[in-house]
């Protein structure tokens, strides 16, 4: 292998990245690839040109927030409609500034949310 060749650069890059590539071995819950995450966001990526409300930064930010809620609900085996309804019902009643720990009760992994919104 010639020093400075494209192959040498590729091999050097791979060797230098080895600690990062093996990082997933430290936690058995980490998947070896991000295919599942990419498959989950594919519908949004494909449809983004059709969504006029995301034509502004505020619209894009709102879309991202809703997509995050939907995908997090799916990942936690919740009924998405029930979870969004639950959030819209209970979020306005929380004083986030004085009691930020109450937000934990609205997370999809909280016991109350799991009981109320889990898929049947």
Tens digits of residue pLDDT in 42-80: 877 776 655 665 677 887 788 778 888 998 999 899 999
Instruction: Report residue 64 as tokens.
Output: 């991202």
How much is the pTM? 0.60
3-state secondary structure (DSSP) of residue 78: strand
Angle, helices 57-75/35-47, rounded to nearest 10 degrees? 140
DSSP conformational letter for 109: T
With a cut of 90, say whether residue 82 has pLDDT above it: yes
| Number of neighbouring beta carbons within 10 Å of residue 73 | 22
Provide the mean pLDDT of the chain: 85
User: 1, 117, 9: which is closest to 70 by C-alpha?
Assistant: 117
Q: What is the pLDDT of residues 21-43, one digit of tens each?
A: 887 788 888 777 888 888 887 87
């Amino acid at each position: 292998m010639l020093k400075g060749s494209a192959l040498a650069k590729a091999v050097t890059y791979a060797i230098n990245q080895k600690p990062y590539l093996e990082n997933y071995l430290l936690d058995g819950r980490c998947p070896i690839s991000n295919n599942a995450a990419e498959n989950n966001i594919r519908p949004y990526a494909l449809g983004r040109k059709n969504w006029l409300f995301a034509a502004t930064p505020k619209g894009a930010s709102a879309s991202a927030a809703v997509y995050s809620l939907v995908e997090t609900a799916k990942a936690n085996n919740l009924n998405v409609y029930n979870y969004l309804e639950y959030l819209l019902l209970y979020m306005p009643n929380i004083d986030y500034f004085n009691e930020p720990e109450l937000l934990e009760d609205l997370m999809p992994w909280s016991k109350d949310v799991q009981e109320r919104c889990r898929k049947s």
